[in-house]
């Protein structure tokens, strides 16, 4: 396996020369510029390069307008890149029609043909390609069986529920057994409960079918649960690409840190003082000595500005009475503005002093006796904190 496909660098640029053997889709330095009717230009995607391995489930995630859907549509051939190339299974498909690319796509609104029955919808990609009748029939039955929609085959899409329509759209995508599946926010039209259920089913389906999949979503939870790797995009640029846990543990910059994780990471303005053999971090809420490992990473980065942004995940803060204190924990006594019991844990909204200062979220154990409108003693896990460059947003302690 090449170095570069595993790469988690911010740019994720491919190495020069031939793509690695098992690369199935290569997004090669594409830029997409849309011309607006008033003559202006919008750069939707800028210098994006990603290699997707055979059988990999890659999730493109980012806020709306970040260019993820444009990227997917470029791979599909529904948009042509202003610059750069798309390669599928080693072949340059940049100039090819969607139908010549050996892909199938699930659209956000499913795009089922309303005038066709479920059976006709699923068999359409085969029919257009003049597959023999018995082969078509066999494959449709197989796909329907896999997705549990056999009894719906003779209905029209309008007679189906959202979840059923979703399954039909998946069936139409898998029936042709293409090289790549493309999915554009396929779960966003389902209600919350069904979305979680379909997410699991998609995961299982991917395990069984094992096809290369590029999946676009704005939902970080979907990205984390589905992706073998996640590519986080913002403003048309790739921020970080890597396995979910890596993005969570070692975000490359403040954007990724804030995007991955729910509730999002707390960011606090902090001052950084060198203490000879280490660093001391001072914030409005608490001060602490930077753990040795983090300090080493900070030294490695070659940058140690006076002011930084401290990032602490809500789940790395807990009730001090419920965790053992240690060298790598910092105690502090904030004011509890709001408590939100979730059952499995309890969300606290905190401020350094009553009614003033920047808000902070903590996700503490449900056994915590923190009460609203009182101060409480909390403990933050310093091994998990991050320091970000104020100016560039880069993570200095990764």
Instruction: Report the interface residues with another protein, using CB under 8 A.
Output: 76-78, 97-99, 103-105, 107-111, 113-115, 124-125, 128-129, 172, 176, 182
- Minimum CB–partner distance for residue 111 and another protein (Å): 4
Least separation, in Å, of the C-beta of 192 and another protein?
A: 22
Q: Cβ 79 to another protein, closest distance in Å?
A: 10
Minimum CB separation of residue 165 from another protein in Å reads: 10
Long-range contacts of range 274-281, CB-CB < 8 Å, 24 or more positions apart? Answer: 274/304, 279/304, 281/308, 281/310, 281/387
Q: Which is nearer to another protein, 214 or 378 (CB)?
A: 214
CA 283 to centroid of chain Cα atoms:
30
The 386-389 sheet, strands edge to edge: 287-289, 279-283, 266-274, 307-312, 386-389
Which of 125, 236 has the CB closer to another protein?
125
- Do 47 and 31 contact (CB within 8 A), yes or no? yes
CB of 62 to another protein, least distance (A): 21
Dihedral-angle region of residue 277 (phi above 0 means left; psi in -120 to 50 means alpha; beta otherwise): alpha
Q: CB of residue 114 vs another protein: minimum separation in angstroms?
A: 7
- CB closer to another protein out of 102 and 137: 102
Whichever of 107 and 347 has its CB closer to another protein, that residue is: 107
Helices (H), 334-388: none
HSE, side-chain direction, 13 A CA sphere, residue 168: 31
For residues 180 and 350, which CB has a smaller minimum distance to another protein in the complex? 180
**What torsion, rounded to 10 degrees, do the Cα atoms 109, 113, 116, 117 define?**
-20
Nearer to another protein, 121 or 239 (CB): 121
The two three-digit tokens of residue 39, written as one number: 């003559």
Shortest approach of another protein to residue 77 CB, angstroms?
A: 8
168 sits in which H/E element? helix 162-174
- The C-alpha atoms of residue 259 and residue 237 are separated, in whole angstroms, by 14
Q: Which residue's CB is nearer to another protein, number 107 or number 267?
A: 107
In the complex, least distance from residue 95 CB atom to another protein, rounded to whole angstroms:
15
Quick check: 51 and 19 in contact, CB under 8 A? yes
**In whole angstroms, what is the distance from residue 8 CA to residue 247 CA?**
9
Residues whose CB falls within 8 Å of the CB of residue 66, separated by 6 or more in sequence, listed in order: 233, 234, 235, 236
What is the distance of C-alpha 18 from the center of its chain? 28
In angstroms, what is the minimal distance from the CB of 101 to another protein?
8
By beta-carbon proximity to another protein, the closer residue of 98 and 264 is: 98
Nearer to another protein, 112 or 298 (CB): 112
Q: Which residues contact 332 (CB under 8 A, 6 or more apart)?
A: 285, 286, 377, 378, 379, 380
């Amino acid at each position: 396996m090449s170095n570069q496909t595993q790469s988690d660098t911010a740019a994720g640029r491919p190495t020069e020369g031939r793509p690695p053997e098992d690369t199935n889709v290569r997004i090669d330095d594409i830029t997409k510029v849309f011309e607006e009717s008033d003559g202006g230009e919008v750069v939707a995607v800028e210098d994006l390069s990603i290699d997707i391995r055979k059988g990999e489930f890659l999730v493109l995630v980012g806020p709306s307008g970040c260019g993820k859907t444009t990227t997917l549509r470029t791979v599909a051939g529904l948009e042509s890149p202003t610059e750069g190339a798309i390669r599928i299974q080693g072949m340059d498909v940049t100039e090819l029609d969607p139908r010549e690319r050996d892909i199938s796509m699930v659209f956000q609104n499913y795009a089922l043909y309303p005038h066709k029955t479920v059976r006709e919808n699923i068999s359409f990609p085969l029919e257009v390609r003049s597959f023999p009748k018995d082969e078509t029939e066999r494959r449709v039955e197989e796909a329907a069986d896999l997705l549990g929609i056999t009894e719906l085959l003779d209905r029209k899409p309008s007679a189906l529920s959202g979840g059923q329509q979703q399954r039909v759209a998946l069936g139409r995508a898998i029936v042709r057994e293409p090289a790549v599946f493309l999915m554009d926010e396929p779960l966003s039209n389902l209600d919350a409960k069904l979305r979680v259920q379909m997410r699991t089913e998609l995961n299982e389906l991917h395990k069984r079918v094992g096809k290369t999949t590029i999946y676009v979503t704005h939902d970080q939870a979907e990205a984390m649960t589905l992706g073998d790797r996640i590519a986080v995009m913002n403003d048309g640029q790739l921020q970080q690409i890597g396995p979910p846990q890596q993005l969570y543990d070692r975000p490359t910059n403040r954007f990724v840190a804030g995007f991955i994780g729910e509730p999002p990471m707390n960011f606090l303005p902090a001052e950084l003082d060198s203490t000879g053999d280490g660093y001391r971090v001072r914030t409005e809420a608490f001060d602490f000595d930077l753990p040795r490992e983090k300090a080493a990473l900070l030294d490695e980065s070659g940058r140690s500005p006076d002011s930084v942004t401290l990032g602490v995940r809500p789940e790395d803060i807990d009730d001090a009475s419920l965790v053992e204190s240690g060298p790598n924990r910092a105690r502090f006594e904030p004011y509890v503005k709001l408590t939100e019991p979730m059952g499995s844990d309890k969300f606290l909204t905190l401020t350094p002093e009553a009614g003033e200062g920047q808000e902070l979220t903590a996700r503490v154990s449900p056994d915590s006796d923190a009460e609203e409108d009182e101060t409480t003693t909390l403990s933050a896990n310093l091994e998990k904190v991050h320091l970000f460059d104020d100016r560039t947003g880069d993570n200095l302690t990764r």
